[in-house]
Amino acid sequence: MWSLLSTLTILCIQMLLVMCNPLQQVLGVDGVNFSVHVENQTQVRDTMSRRHHRVYQLYSRTSGKHVQVLGRRISARGEDGDKYAQLVVEADTFGSQVRIRGKETNFYLCMNRRGKLVGKKASNRSADCVFVEMVLENH
């Protein structure tokens, strides 16, 4: 008898907690759209969070070689594993904005006003050195 009474008491307390939980009221609101928040956070640099650094090689289908950062000059004639073709992709925002740096030269991959790829020094944090990373379904 006591076990049945204690089980019913526990069940009643659990039901009371579920019904009075304010978190469920917040999450239960219809029409909440977090895309505006995500869009705003994507555009702001996040100096508090830890940066993500990954090393890649960018392959150029046009030349059949890898992209190299040779100081101020950018080339798409690098062989697989070449030290100048090792690129560090740095993400320091909430979203998909990245900066690409040559591992060997520490120059960043940027675009000039004419749309040509150039290398710039690390102290330059301008928008012409920021790219948007898009992860496709087939990769």
Print the domain residue range for 83: 49-139
Q: What is the pLDDT of residue 127?
A: 82
- Residue 91 maps to a domain: yes
Q: Is residue 129 one of the residues assigned to a domain?
A: yes
Beta bridge partners of 102: 87
pTM: predicted TM-score of the whole model, two decimal places? 0.62
- Which CATH number covers residue 124? 2.80.10.50
Residue 11 lies in a domain: no
Q: Is residue 125 part of a domain?
A: yes
* Residue 24 pLDDT class (50, 70, 90 cuts): very low
Taking the C-alpha atoms of residue 98 and residue 91, their distance in angstroms, rounded to an integer, is 5
Examine residue 98 and state whether it is found in any structural domain, yes or no: yes
Contact 68/82 with Cβ under 8 angstroms?
yes
**7 in any annotated domain:** no
Query: Using one digit for the tens of pLDDT, what is the confidence trace for 70-96?
Result: 999 999 999 999 999 999 999 876 667
Please say if the pLDDT value at position 35 is more than 60.
yes
42 within a domain of the structure (yes/no):
no
Domains identified in the chain, total number: 1
